Structure 1
Amino acid sequence: MKNAFSDYYSPSDAEYERFLKEGIIALDANVLLAPYKVDADARKQIFGILTQLKDRLWAPYQAGYEFFKNRPAVMAGEDKVYQNLETPLTTARKKIDEHLKSITGHPVITPSDAKGILSAIDEVISKVETLRKGKDSRLEDYLRDDPILKKWEALLESRIGECPSNQNLRELTDIVGKRYMEGVPPGLQDEDKPENSYGDGILWLQLLDKANESKLPTLLITDDVKDDWYRRHGGKTIGPRVELVREMRESAGVPYYQQPLSFFVQRAGKVLNRPVSENTVRQVVGLSSSVSGASFEQSVHSELLNQFPATDVLEYPQDFATADLAVRVGSLTVGVLLTLEARSLGGNTLQRLSKALRGRRFNAILLVTNKPLTQMDRDALAGIANATTKPFDVAHWSPMRSNSPHLANAVVMLAEQALSPAWRS
């Protein structure tokens, strides 16, 4: 069976060890940027593994280009840290001020006490504001003397793909455009991006060229876990797209595999006897791109846990195979299906929704998607609604919508609908 369907198999331990010790380990731009987003201990463990594999490392030119293009913005990300500090402090000050005004004249807190409390808070806010305003000068210094960049320079010296000529770049762009028209991955979900929409496709073609040149097993480490790179089932990333494994074999005649950085550091760490800590794994898991499956799943799960007791939110429950999550609301159970889509809801998502609605395990279903619905989506959902006796709803969700009751409200409303006589009849 494995000979006939080898494209669907994950590498055995021996096969994986061959990738590490004999093959090419290609790094995507998001992996090159990852050390800027983790703490010093995690960074040390990641670079420890990569240093041991130094002779096998390689980065497509497209990955290097995107790294240098995005590096300043990633390094400047500390601005968000200061915003996350400053905003709650300002909000707290306002609430404390209002409370102090409401108890004016209370013998325990004098006007002098109130003024002292507010002054102390103002001092903290001022300190954070000063740090935020000083970030630009620090960023300039950091860009000029960047220890992480020096690490990459040492590891990837003479291990970066050749810069394409203008003519070659036009040819690559034409090929990627044709692949997109034919629905050939990767990069399909970036097709509508206003900038660098062909980046993933170009990176893949450069990786194919490298594999053809070297004739070595090729392992790509990328945190871009969208559906045009990875196979996903039940909300989980289970391996590279079969089309990519097949194309690499047919084009270059070599085995191919790909992993997010979190999977790579765990498995490679075991092979190399350099185990990584749970803290490092947790940090690296959170680095997947903003529309990645990992971060999308985590944001939905975290949001539901913010609004419901932990015992009522079931993550990937075995008894609920058609859903990714289940939420108990009183005596009812609302199934939650997660989907990442390029433009509109795919046939697989609609089939999962229909199957979940037909089953007996759920009283209602909430479909959570990262994209607003298209007219085609609404038409397809209307057809499903006409054929079901259970309520369902669709929520457009982004990880940026933190601390919002948006999803919780949808779950509760579905449970209430399921209890109504109209649906029970």
Structure 2
Amino acid sequence: MNGLYDGEFAGYKIASPAELDTALREAVVAVDANVLLDLYRFSPRTSSDLINTFKSLGDRLVVPHQALREFWRHRQRAQGSPRGATKTATDALAKSGRGMTDTLTIWAKAVGVNHGDLTQLTGQVNELVRGLQEKLQQSLAHTDADRVGDPILEQLEELLRGRVTSPLPDEEHAECVAEAGRRTVAEIPPGYKDAGKQEDGSADGGAGDYLVWYQATRYAQEHQRDLLIVTRDEKEDWWWRQGAEFIGPRPELALEYGSLTGRRLFLMRPTDLLARAFVLEVDVDEDSSADAGRLFHLAEIDNQQPATWTLEELAVLLVELDAHAPAQGAALRLAASGPVIRYDEVSELGIDPTYSKVDRFTRPYLRVTVTLKNQGLLHPALPSIFRIGAVGFTVPEEVPALLRTLAAN
């Protein structure tokens, strides 16, 4: 006879606060790339508190090799994130100011306000916008002053010395990429939610999350410990969620790790880790957890309200695909008849329905998309047009109608 959490139900056991505290004191703690990159996005105080918390873990801290690989791929973008965010905000303020000025001008004409009064009102708008822009620049200058050189990199060099797993042998890496592809098609966690986010030109394809998982679990297995993964990834292919509440790791992941090792799996976000740093006898600023949670909340909002493709953006994409990846452009046009493009429909374009071939087929599209986003021609939060499925590519629901409109014009 079995109990509530025996056999296939072992993954449903929810960690109590005491069990989370024990995991912090005893488990292997694996850190994902997004947490390392966020050290550049957090306030200097929060970054320092998080690094000190990691230091307190000693030899229980580990960074999967794949996570460090992704850190180096995206570090420069993350390092420039505060400056880029400030430019975006100042530009948006200027645009808002122009909009308010235009609105006041239309209003003044409608109600007969004289030129002098209108000038005074628009002057107040311009003064407000300039003042806000100056505040943003001052805040950025303060952050830059606290980060002369690259203190984050200097601290990580010391923190991660001897704490990164070894790269996988080529054959084992290829097996993991193939397994990630199988899981993507079957929607087995982790990583299937990133099916359309393959690294541009990378040999990993869309297997990044699975490679992090594989390397972290094998390391913890070797050391015969529970495993706690610290990640800012909030998607449902990692987390067991109920609405906005994060209950714990996906039961499938907890069961998989338990079956592999006989041990427990835990997940924490950086905001949760900082809130529990007292367990490790680390003093952190009371605002640090909230600061870490702010970035998480912004990512959560972005995932709940994704951008949708517009006619103009789809037209730009097709022009670039026709010029640089005509087979992908032709395949995308097949979606005019419905949201699923079957693999057998595009076989004449050179597509092989095995995952590795499908993955390679999407890479030219990804390169074009990244370029267009960097040029500001596509919204940065647009979802992938090609999502790899069991029988074919799936496109966002708005795309077929847009394709039909473009074909009719």
Structure 1 residues 98 and 154, CA gap change in structure 2 (3 angstroms)? same
Higher helix share: 2
Structure 1 residues 116 and 149, CA gap change in structure 2 (3 angstroms)? same
- Deviation for aligned residue 1:122: 9.7
Candidates 274, 285, 303, aligned match of 2:293? 285
SS in 1 for 2:29: strand
- TM-score for both structures, normalised by structure 1: 0.58
Q: How does 1:187-266 map to 2 (within 5 A)?
A: 187-195=191-199, 196-266=205-275
Q: Deviations over 1:260-301 (max 9, x none)?
A: 22222223x231344655532232123339764x7646x79x
Amino acid at match of 1:250: S
Structure 1 residues 194 and 115, CA gap change in structure 2 (3 angstroms)? closer
- Deviation for aligned residue 1:94: 6.0
SS in 1 for 2:248: strand
5+ residue gaps, structure 1 = 301-342, 345-369, 375-394, 397-425
Candidates 88, 93, 96, aligned match of 2:93? 88
Structure 1 residues 93 and 225, CA gap change in structure 2 (3 angstroms)? closer
SS in 2 for 1:238: strand
Over the residues paired in the alignment, what is the CA RMSD in angstroms?
4.2
Distance in 2, Cα, partners of 1:49 & 1:182:
37
- Which fold has the larger relative contact order, with Cα–Cα distance below 8 Å and residues 6 or more apart in sequence? 2
Q: Deviations over 1:294-331 (max 9, x none)?
A: 7646x79xxxxxxxxxxxxxxxxxxxxxxxxxxxxxxx
Amino acid at match of 2:295: L
How many pairs align?
A: 298
Structure 1 residues 67 and 371, CA gap change in structure 2 (3 angstroms)? closer
SS in 2 for 1:162: coil
Structure 1 residues 215 and 80, CA gap change in structure 2 (3 angstroms)? same
Q: How does 1:232-381 map to 2 (within 5 A)?
A: 232-267=241-276, 269-274=277-282, 276=284, 279-288=287-296, 292=300, 296=303
Contact 2:45-2:285 within 8 A present in 1 as well:
no
Runs of 4+ in 1 over 4 A off after TM superposition: 97-111, 113-131, 275-278, 289-292, 294-297, 370-374
Distance in 2, Cα, partners of 1:130 & 1:257:
40
- Deviation for aligned residue 1:157: 0.8
Distance in 2, Cα, partners of 1:183 & 1:118:
51
- Deviation for aligned residue 1:2: 5.7
Q: Deviations over 1:15-40 (max 9, x none)?
A: 33432233210000111112211212
Distance in 2, Cα, partners of 1:241 & 1:117:
53
Contact 2:40-2:152 within 8 A present in 1 as well:
yes
Structure 1 residues 100 and 265, CA gap change in structure 2 (3 angstroms)? same
- Deviation for aligned residue 1:91: 3.5
Residue 155 (str. 1) matches residue 159 (str. 2): yes
5+ residue gaps, structure 2 = 200-204, 307-338, 341-381, 387-396, 399-409
Residue 146 (str. 1) matches residue 154 (str. 2): no
Amino acid at match of 1:19: A
Distance in 2, Cα, partners of 1:373 & 1:149:
35
Distance in 2, Cα, partners of 1:74 & 1:182:
32
Contact 1:177-1:198 within 8 A present in 2 as well:
yes
Which residue in the other structure is 2:170 paired with?
166
Distance in 1, Cα, partners of 2:39 & 2:65:
19
Fraction of identical pairs, as percent: 25
Distance in 2, Cα, partners of 1:100 & 1:203:
56
Contact 1:240-1:257 within 8 A present in 2 as well:
yes
Contact 2:30-2:230 within 8 A present in 1 as well:
yes
- TM-score for both structures, normalised by structure 2: 0.60
Residue 79 (str. 1) matches residue 84 (str. 2): yes
Amino acid at match of 2:57: L
